[in-house]
């Protein structure tokens, strides 16, 4: 095979690209796989800027199954990703997620809870009394209760990304530091990519794993994806009153969420309608002091005295059709595969998605049927419904 000819070219080496490369190589070590990544420092990649939460608490069966797969995979991740003497440490801490609801949200939450339980997940309905007993700092006025996922948690996202990448490389995947500026196709079939350096890579399979840049990449071959880069911000706080023990990732009905971080810090965030679309990575302390803090302090009065230590901004790749993943081959362009539109829950979907895309390309029956996320639904305008979007 010619030096610039590959079996599969992956555009973007974040969690999706690196997981896909790992599964391709571990399924068939003879494959020649290239991962083109324009920023190997991952400064702007969502995978490195995420809250790194993992949860079972979704309402769509397939999103729950994706998380079940992730839970099992992540428990064994450090052993699976060993390269020589190097074993990643992903700091996987399962401290739980608590989704609070008011009366209007009770029935939707209970429906999702029943589905999760029917699928064999550990998740519980918590009364206000139970919540107050466990987390006495919370002011629960106006709420009806909550669902608690004891196996939900968080991890070191960068370490997971590096773990996948190192293992994929050790199995033979080639990472190329360059930018894909053009997808190439001939007669309704993808044929490769053009790079900013002037090189051309030839391949019958190209996978779009470009995260918030996915629509820009797809457009170079005339494919319009409903995926927008939307700025989201997270703030790191040092409260005067330190909670006893870890607080779970706690979601209020308004969308505000927070949890404890190592070193007695609190991480807090909230997706807002007015969050700008575009490639803007500046965080704004006024967003915290004027918008989030009053809401946080009303719910946890002890947090009325705290120090804002820092913040950061990253991009959700928002699927404007339905906020869910877009997975599979684009109809009308053979060999062009998508792993896009993960909005705010893609990190935990990395393992199952990488596996699924590799199975579609290699042609083995998928262990998880994720065809509900097929790209055709965009053209048919058939959105999926998921109540657990954050």
Ligand X SMILES: Cc1cc2nc3c(=O)[nH]c(=O)nc-3n(C[C@H](O)[C@H](O)[C@H](O)COP(=O)(O)OP(=O)(O)OC[C@H]3O[C@@H](n4cnc5c(N)ncnc54)[C@H](O)[C@@H]3O)c2cc1C
- Give contact residues for ligand X (rule: CB under 6 A): 11-17, 36-39, 42, 45-47, 49-53, 179-180, 209-213, 217, 232, 234, 314-316, 342, 344-348
Report DSSP letters for 206-235, one per residue.
EEE--GGGHHHHHHTTT----EEEEEEEEE
**C-beta closer to ligand X: residue 4 or 130:** 4
**C-beta closer to ligand X: residue 145 or 325:** 325
First to last CA, the chain: 45
Nearest distance in Å: CB 62, ligand X: 15
Nearest distance in Å: CB 8, ligand X: 15
Nearest distance in Å: CB 317, ligand X: 6
Per DSSP, what are the bridge partners of residue 207? 10, 337
Nearest distance in Å: CB 33, ligand X: 15
Residue with tokens 């991890």: 155
Instruction: Classify 89 in phi/psi space as left (phi over 0), alpha (psi -120 to 50) or beta.
Output: beta
**C-beta closer to ligand X: residue 145 or 260:** 260
Report DSSP letters for 9-25, one per residue.
EEE--SHHHHHHHHHHH
**C-beta closer to ligand X: residue 126 or 175:** 175
Beta carbons of 6 and 201 less than 8 angstroms apart: yes
Nearest distance in Å: CB 149, ligand X: 13
Look at residues 19, 93, 79, 13 and name the one whose alpha carbon lies nearest to residue 51.
93
**C-beta closer to ligand X: residue 47 or 221:** 47
Nearest distance in Å: CB 258, ligand X: 12
**C-beta closer to ligand X: residue 213 or 258:** 213
Alpha-carbon Rg for the chain in angstroms? 21
Residues 6+ apart with CB under 8 A from 44: 279, 281, 314, 315
**C-beta closer to ligand X: residue 149 or 344:** 344
**C-beta closer to ligand X: residue 232 or 287:** 232
Secondary structure of residue 78 in the 3-state scheme:
helix
Look at residues 21, 14, 11, 338 and name the one whose alpha carbon lies nearest to residue 195.
11
Rounded Cα distance between 162 and 159, Å, is 5
Ramachandran angles phi, psi of 150, nearest 5°: -65, -20
Residue with tokens 């599979």: 328
Rounded Cα distance between 51 and 314, Å, is 10
Nearest distance in Å: CB 80, ligand X: 19
Nearest distance in Å: CB 97, ligand X: 10
**C-beta closer to ligand X: residue 105 or 211:** 211
**C-beta closer to ligand X: residue 196 or 367:** 196
In our burial notation (b when 16+ CB lie closer than 10 A, e otherwise), range 275-290 reads beeeeeeebeeebbee
Nearest distance in Å: CB 146, ligand X: 18
Nearest distance in Å: CB 20, ligand X: 9
């Amino acid at each position: 095979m010619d030096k610039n000819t590959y079996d599969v070219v992956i555009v973007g080496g974040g969690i999706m690209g690196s997981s896909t490369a790992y599964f391709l190589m571990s399924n068939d070590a003879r494959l020649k796989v290239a991962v083109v990544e324009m920023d190997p420092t991952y400064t702007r990649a969502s995978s490195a800027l995420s809250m790194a939460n993992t949860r079972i608490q979704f309402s769509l069966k397939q999103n729950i199954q994706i998380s079940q797969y992730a839970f099992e995979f992540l428990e064994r991740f450090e052993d699976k990703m060993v390269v020589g003497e190097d074993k990643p440490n992903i700091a996987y801490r399962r401290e739980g997620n608590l989704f609070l609801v008011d009366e209007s949200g009770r029935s939707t939450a209970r429906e999702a809870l029943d589905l999760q339980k029917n699928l064999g997940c550990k998740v519980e309905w918590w009364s206000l009394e139970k919540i107050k007993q466990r987390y006495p700092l919370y002011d629960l006025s106006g709420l009806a209760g909550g669902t608690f996922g004891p196996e939900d948690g968080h991890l070191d996202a960068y370490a997971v990304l590096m773990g996948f990448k190192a293992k994929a490389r050790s199995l033979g995947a080639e990472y190329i530091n360059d930018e894909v500026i053009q997808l190439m196709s001939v007669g309704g079939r993808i044929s490769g990519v053009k790079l900013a350096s002037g090189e051309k890579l030839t391949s019958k399979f190209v996978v779009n794993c470009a995260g918030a840049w996915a629509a820009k990449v797809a457009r170079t071959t005339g494919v319009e994806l409903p995926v927008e880069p939307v700025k989201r911000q997270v703030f790191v706080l040092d409260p005067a009153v330190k909670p006893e023990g870890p607080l779970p990732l706690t979601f209020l009905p308004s969308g505000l969420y927070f949890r404890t971080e190592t070193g007695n810090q609190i991480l807090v965030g909230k997706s807002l309608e007015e969050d700008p679309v575009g490639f803007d990575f500046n965080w704004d302390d006024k967003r915290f002091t004027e918008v989030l803090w009053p809401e946080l302090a009303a719910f946890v009065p002890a947090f009325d005295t705290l120090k804002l230590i820092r913040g950061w901004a990253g991009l959700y790749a928002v699927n404007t059709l339905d906020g869910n993943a877009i997975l599979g081959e684009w109809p009308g362009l053979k060999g062009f595969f998508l792993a896009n539109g993960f909005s705010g829950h893609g990190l935990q979907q990395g393992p199952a998605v990488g596996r699924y895309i590799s199975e579609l390309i290699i042609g083995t029956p998928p262990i998880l049927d994720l065809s509900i996320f097929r790209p055709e639904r965009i053209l048919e305008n058939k959105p999926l419904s998921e109540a657990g979007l954050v």
